Structure 1
């Protein structure tokens, strides 16, 4: 089994820093079913290719407990050593585990950027129809080339020909591309070589974060990756469909007064008003999703430049469609959509008058908050920053109180916790901060949503 990763990013040899593998060395790693080799067939500043070669030991494979049924040849004669699937996915995670997390010790800024990539696999098991590779990888922004590989046309009784030579071309963060392969190679194959237990749900959710929840084939991917109904149901409980559940459980409780807009709309309207009142002309929407805030800002002539940033390539495609960027070329100088992560400093985000983080914080692991704060307030440094997040105290007023409003939230703050974080961040990076309630306000539990407005502190006058 072979996977090659090629880039023409300049200098292309930076691929070695992203993969944490030196182009002049060959890395050999033992695996439970054989071994893997990482090497570079080509390494020049113009074009660099890294290769992952996996050699499966067929004897060891035949002795595995799950090798096959007794009395059959299946444990000894099969496609496992040759057709990429779950074996390659495991080797990929073993060889490039650090790269999959989006970290690079020597090129942290590049790890967060999308670069041109070509991913080639000469033989992939693709059981599920000739269009399956395109259905799985196409929505992620790849150009998909899947060439069928015949068995032997002289012996049609040998059955289907579920093998393709697969090439994917696109511009993506390397970590995203590796996670796509890690999840979708076993999905293409439709089987795994190891026991599927509850820990597979966590793997799917972790490596699918940021793209799987909005993938049009999400249900198919989940079903083929997990196979068992109970595990599939468990995974689906964690998904939130943006158009239907973007406001979370809270929106079920805001309809007491029918004329009032949905909480999510009310929140976006309030943020748009604050941005307009700030006098900003150049605005960043950090975690823009499908562009709902950008669509509110676009008709206001005050905003000369609008930039949306999101980790999900699919969400950015939807945002571009709903903003009608392809149909309105006059907007190209005014509206940009960037694929990026707030986990890394990004020079493209510097110099803006204002930025918004609307319901973003609670979707991050708590240990990543300091990094986000540093990258936004310390590195990008917009003159004004608007942050909204749920108020956990308000959850007690719901008909069915819940600790978190929907499963994708990693935490939710009380008013005191949110204000403590915001005040510490403001002091650390030279901002003043004020707080405002959003939406319904309970006399005891406070607002359903809380807002912090950061503004750069005026420099001290010379004495």
Structure 2
């Protein structure tokens, strides 16, 4: 199996520093299925190519856990197959061992290069691709690559036989080397649609680690997760749930990035409108919808007398700042699946500068909205502010179970866009949602149906209202529901 990485970055031989492999040497590594070699066919100032060659040992491939690579009743198939030649999970595993530092984005000698985007060309001349050239384009194209996936004919002398299952894949783009290698590491076995080893739950962590920064927003993330996890539905479902959480966290971080350290006690001061607010008339923009939304949530918390409050999916901490300013809130917990979001919330709250008495009121926990978490039980109220619309519809039952069924706070406050109001946003094309990552936006009737169903299923009573200026025809821009648990104990 062969994979080459070429750059024209100047000096191109800096590629050796990024890969932590000197261009003047041949580097050899023992891997579970054979021997991996790294060498440089060309190494000049204007162009440098590193090659990874995996020499598969059929005897190793046929033994131990690798017996899974061919049917048990086809003994000869363990020795006569395409595995020594066609790129697959075997090559991905070798890549992860040989280029471990490069995948992590570490370079002791040239650390400044790690963050640089450089021109790259990656070629895999023989790749088994279940789905053909179109699938290769759909996987790598959204990542910014120019993709050339040339089908390999079964026999060049017999064109009437058609193409084989293999492609000659070439990727060209300007990208960080670490990102490029992680994308290839994930997508090689996805294109092959097979793995040479048993897939355990820890494969989810490998997928999420290698997919950091690109997989959560990939339009084919469902297919990628299913194939990478060899169509094990339970594992793929867990992976997709965590990817949804990460995507939501990334979006909230992006919204907060303009002023990450702001702790102004006046929530209207210096507030930057959210994405859906940008198209409002100037008179309304002076009081951004995000401000109205937070004030409405705080008013509901005051109305029900909540003192111990959860902000579920807190992002960079905008609502947490407002909660801290209200002395009635004796315990405030912000949760998010993203460690980066929690770090931003900590900076925004300036926890390191608060007196210990104030600091003790606040907790920041990493937690996923679609998984049960015993730490979240027993609170007066929980807030899901602009969260549900970022989840795929099929993940909503998991959120409902985790929040309403397991955590069971006394009050749950949910806000979400009203899709009917979208016609009032100038410049928003008909049929388009307010944000590219919204999986859906509900009408008022759809929101009412969902809230009624959830309330009935989990023993809550629900009231609904609107946030922002009310239009007589299409209602308010934001919908708000307040669920109050019936009875005293969870």
Q: Same fold (TM over 0.5)?
A: yes
Unaligned 5+ residue runs, structure 1?
Answer: 249-262, 276-284, 286-290, 300-361, 364-386, 396-400, 424-443, 450-463
Shift of 1:402: 11
- Number of the residue aligned with 1:116: 119
- Number of the residue aligned with 2:39: 39
- Number of the residue aligned with 1:231: 235
Matching of residue 17 in structure 1 with residue 7 in structure 2: no
Shift of 1:54: 0.4
Q: 1:388 to 1:55 in 2, by over 3 A?
A: same
Per the normalisation by structure 2, the TM-score is 0.55
- Number of the residue aligned with 1:391: 320
Shift of 1:209: 1.0
Shift of 1:65: 3.2
Matching of residue 192 in structure 1 with residue 200 in structure 2: no
Contact 1:144 1:168 in 2 (8 A): yes
- Paired with 1:231 and 1:160, the residues of 2 have a C-alpha distance of 34
Matches within 5 A, 1:41-120: 41-63=41-63, 64-68=66-70, 69-120=72-123
Equivalenced residues, count? 313
Relative contact order higher in (CA < 8 Å, ≥ 6 apart): 1
Shift of 1:228: 0.1
- Number of the residue aligned with 1:217: 220
**SS of aligned partner of 1:188:** helix
2:337 to 390, 407, 420: 407
- Paired with 1:36 and 1:415, the residues of 2 have a C-alpha distance of 45
Shift of 1:177: 0.2
What does the per-residue CA deviation read over 1:339-389, in whole Å, with 9 as the maximum and x for residues that have no partner?
xxxxxxxxxxxxxxxxxxxxxxx98xxxxxxxxxxxxxxxxxxxxxxx856
Unaligned 5+ residue runs, structure 2?
Answer: 265-271, 283-313, 325-330, 355-379, 386-490
Shift of 1:410: 5.8
What does the per-residue CA deviation read over 1:30-85, in whole Å, with 9 as the maximum and x for residues that have no partner?
01110000011111111111110000011221234324313443212111100001
Contact 2:263 2:349 in 1 (8 A): no
RMSD value, Cα: 4.6
Q: 1:404 to 1:416 in 2, by over 3 A?
A: closer
Q: 1:154 to 1:72 in 2, by over 3 A?
A: farther
Contact 2:317 2:348 in 1 (8 A): no
Q: 1:191 to 1:87 in 2, by over 3 A?
A: same
Q: 1:196 to 1:242 in 2, by over 3 A?
A: closer
- Paired with 2:258 and 2:61, the residues of 1 have a C-alpha distance of 59
- Paired with 2:101 and 2:199, the residues of 1 have a C-alpha distance of 24
- Following superposition, which runs of at least 4 residues in structure 1 exceed 3 angstroms of deviation? 152-160, 241-248, 267-275, 291-296, 387-395, 401-406, 408-418, 420-423
- Number of the residue aligned with 2:8: 8
**SS of aligned partner of 1:29:** strand
**SS of aligned partner of 2:55:** strand
Q: 1:36 to 1:205 in 2, by over 3 A?
A: same
